[in-house]
Amino acid sequence: MIDIGRFFFENKRDGAIGLTNPRGYQGFRPDLLTYVVRVHEILVAPRTSVSEEERRAIVDYKRRFVSDLQEIVEPNWFSRTAGFTEKATDEMKSKAKVRQ
């Protein structure tokens, strides 16, 4: 999953980091992918259960991931482009809450 993420979110280049690595692995991994790596590390660590501290860390990484992704993707782009009215958007939100 992380390597797939590299197709969309390339490393931040720094002339001195990873020069001997293939191009896709040079520089620093973006924070967005680091959050995925950290959650993966928590979930694959050998143990019988996930601690409360680890659960909080997973939630924190998820929130950071979503926030960073929203800055990149602009989630309101679709509604702006499709011309949704504020009323239609409110109705969709109401229906989504009912489904939960």
State both tokens at 6: 């590299």
Q: What is the pLDDT of residues 88-99, one digit of tens each?
A: 667 767 777 766
pLDDT in the model for residue 2 = 78
pLDDT in the model for residue 39 = 95
Q: What are the respective helix, strand and coil percentages of the chain, to the nearest 5?
A: 65, 0, 30
Domain with 33 in it: 2-99
Q: What is the pLDDT of residues 7-64, one digit of tens each?
A: 888 888 877 888 888 888 888 888 999 999 999 999 999 988 889 999 999 999 999 9
The answer on pLDDT for 100 being more than 60 is no
Looking at the 3D structure of the chain, how many domains does it have? 1
Closest C-alpha among 48, 68, 49 to residue 60: 68
The model carries a pTM of: 0.66
Give 84's pLDDT tier (boundaries 50, 70, 90).
Answer: low
